[in-house]
Structure 1
Amino acid sequence: MDEFSFLADQSAELGIDAVPPVRRLTHRLDDGRVVSALRYGDPVTAAFTPPQVTLLHGAGLNAHTWDTTVLALGIPALAVDLPGHGDSSWRTDAAYTGGILAADIAPAVAAWSAGTPQVLVGQSLGGLTGAALAAAHPEVVRELIVVDITPGIDPDGDAAQIAAFFAGPTDWARREELVERALSFGLGGSRGAATRGVTLNSRVRADGRVEWKHHFAHLANALAGDADAAASAEAQRHAIRGALTAAGWDDLAAVSAPITLVRGRRGFVTPPDAEDFQRRLPAASVVEVDSGHNVQEEQPVELARLIAQVARG
């Protein structure tokens, strides 16, 4: 299936007459791995227009989670598949933390933005990655928007539910089986939305079996079958959480660009978390929206409006 086949219906739902041009980009890293992304609003037949906005998704998602938000936004944008997700390569060390992911995507973002400082938008794990990228490469980021995450909050969210969801078989006969599983866990929203999400977050292998594109499902499945390994992984997770939290706050403190936190009222960032964020970063802005954690999917038009305000100054 064409990965862009859902855009016409999404555009129609927003009242947009035509689907903007969109294409997939690939950047090869020095070690042979690739970083992939979607480029919206760049007609191949016209002069190149650098993106103004770069978007980073959360754990277990991919660049297509931003489709509706970008359609509503209506300006040139880049949505990156983080390593281990979408069409980007998996990491053999399974090290998916903000600082490591930022180092992976930095050369690709620099190349694709063509020297144009970006409004960098990151949701959940993408927000922590965005903070690390903005701290290490200030020349790439004009403003940073962090969506429903602060350091210390688990970017995987309800770990027990997510682990149980992904701890099933590593491959399936049909995508419909994955849709039914998502709906049975209360994930994906409507059947139509779940079908779109599953289709864009899975792939058909050469043997005809279907598997998730992201590495997290395979890691969860492996841990589910090995209680000792799962216990060890959980202990390690707790041991490094403090260091990652400190690193996240250090990254945010080092960001020279203006920062905005978008908090979903039903998301992961609690009012005390938002107050702590504001206390640590008094110059930052905090905006609340009526949404859960995946603001880009639940309130794409509202989020697009907020991004547009920042992008257009």
Structure 2
Amino acid sequence: MPELDEFSFLPAQAAALGAPVPTVSRVDLSLADGRRLSGLRWGDAPPAVTLLHGAGLNAHTWDTTLLHLGLPALALDLPGHGDSSWRDDAAYVARVLAPDVVSALQTWAAGPQVLVGHSLGGLTAAAVAASRPDLVSRLVVVDITPGVDPSAGPAQIRAFFAGPTDWATRDELVERALSFGLGGSPEAAARGVFLNSRVREDGRVEWKHHFAHLAAAAANAAQDDTAAHPAADPTPPDAVRAVLASTGWDDLAQVEAPVTLVRGERGFVTAADADELRRRVLGADVRTLSTGHNAQEEDPAALAALVREVVTDTAL
């Protein structure tokens, strides 16, 4: 049996949708400070759409959405995720990440992009659009606003990433994900684990993304502090909270491109959050899908249809 690689799952995914198997290749960019930014190029033509994933995910979170979309696209691994380098300062906030995305667009895109960002990727996309309006024709933000309270997210996700940071096999990690009710079917969980983990030189398996390691360190520090100070608040710091800087509203206010917010009915963005975005970003279009936070994985067909509509409107 041939050894699996990151593209081994695409033929079965495409067949399930009745879609052709696209040309997908990994691209890498060496940044000025020596870090690497990585991504996936879909199709042979210059991308019409660039997509940024959320915290703890990677470019492959968009695979099924892009199979439905059928357009040339660029899906990036944000710094600290996927095959992109971790940041030594662990500064995974939108305005810090945005310059790397700008470098990617200048290198791989032939013109202004429909820029789609989920969660952390959405805030980063807003920072990109605010700082470089010449690179962004439309902004689509998926289930995030700067006012969202990340503690409203599923507690099991935070507990899951606050656990061990390495395992003997990927099967152990799949079992852990399923025990937390994550990953969907066993097959989907196995695919997700394969694409979001790596085997170290010592043979142990670890998450590719830095957030799992930061969350575990924060949880351990909180436990140590509670042991030393029993009266202290035992709640561990939320590694995701740091990405929701108030500057996100400033970025959105400076975006010149039309803005679309896609919220999941069971996601992080409430109706009140959406109303706040409408108030602050005049003319913003708000769409609601029957999904949770990860709309690109829960209803990729609906999200792809919405993105296609935006691309078509932009081309008119």
Matched, 1:109 2:102: no
The aligned residue for residue 193 of structure 1 is 188
Aligned partner letter, 2:120: L
What residue number does 1:184 align with?
179
Residue in 1 that maps onto 2:157: 162
Partner of 2:203: 208
Q: What is the identity, as a one-letter code, of the residue corresponding to 2:53?
A: H
Aligned to 1:45: none
Q: How far did 1:234 drift? A: 3.3
C-alpha distance in 1 between matches for 2:8 and 2:100? 29
Gaps (5+ residues) in structure 1?
43-48
TM superposition outliers: structure 1 runs of 4+ over 4 Å: 154-157, 228-233, 235-238
Q: Corresponding residue for 1:3?
A: 6
The whole-number CA distance in structure 1 between the counterparts of 2:118 and 2:164 is 28
Bigger shift: residues 63-72 or 280-289: 280-289
1:303 aligns with 2:306: no
Deviation of residue 33 (structure 1)?
0.2
1:156–1:162: 8 Å Cα contact kept in structure 2?
Answer: no
Which residue of 2 is the match for residue 40 of structure 1?
42
SS of residue in 2 equivalent to 1:72: helix
Do 1:37 and 1:78's aligned partners in 2 also have CA atoms closer than 8 Å? yes
| CA–CA separation in structure 2 for the residues paired with 1:241 and 1:88 | 18
Report if the CA contact (8 A) 2:120-2:243 is conserved.
no
Q: 5 Å matches for 1:281-300?
A: 281-300=281-300
Deviation string, structure 1 residues 143-192 (Cα, Å, up to 9, x no partner) = 00000001121458637433321222221111011111111111111111
Pick closer, same or farther for the CA change 1:19–1:37 going to 2, 3 Å: same
- C-alpha distance in 2 between matches for 1:85 and 1:155: 19
Aligned equivalent of 1:67, options 54, 63, 68: 63
> Distance in 1 between the 2:239 and 2:197 partners?
29
User: Could you say if the C-alpha distance between residues 270 and 9 of structure 1 is closer, same or farther in structure 2, counting changes exceeding 3 Å?
Assistant: same
Inter-CA distance 237–164: structure 2 relative to 1 (3 Å threshold) = closer
Q: Distance in 1 between matches of 2:100 and 2:72?
A: 23
Deviates more, 1:56-65 or 1:214-223: 214-223
| Distance 1:118-1:213 versus aligned 2 partners, 3 A rule | same
Identity between Structure 1 and Structure 2 (%): 63
How many angstroms apart in 1 are the aligned matches of 2:285 and 2:42?
Answer: 27
- 1:250-269 counterparts in 2 under 5 A? 250-269=250-269
Task: Give the partner amino acid of 1:165.
Answer: F
Matched letter for residue 122 of structure 1? G
Going from structure 1 to structure 2, the CA distance change for 1:159 and 1:267 (only over 3 Å counts) comes to closer
* Counterparts of 1:293 and 1:14, CA distance in 2: 23
* Aligned residues: CA RMSD: 2.1
Question: Cα distance 1:74–1:310, how it changes in 2: closer, same or farther (>3 A)?
Answer: same
**Structure 2 gaps, min length 5:** 227-232
- Aligned letter for 1:258? P
SS in 2 for 1:234: coil
Distance 2:61 2:225 in 1: 31
| Alignment pair present for 1:56 and 2:52 | yes
Partner of 2:275: 275
Confirm whether residue 22 of structure 1 aligns to residue 29 of structure 2: no
1:271 maps to a residue whose letter is: A
Aligned to 2:229: none
Count how many residue pairs are aligned between Structure 1 and Structure 2: 302
Residue 235 of structure 1 and its aligned partner are, at CA, apart by 9.5
Give deviations 1:266-296, integer Å, cap 9, x for gaps. 1111111111111111211001111110000
Amino acid across the alignment from 1:15: G
Cα distance in 1 for residues equivalent to 2:261 and 2:36: 30
2:176 partner letter: R
Between the aligned partners of 1:167 and 1:100, the Cα distance in structure 2 is 24
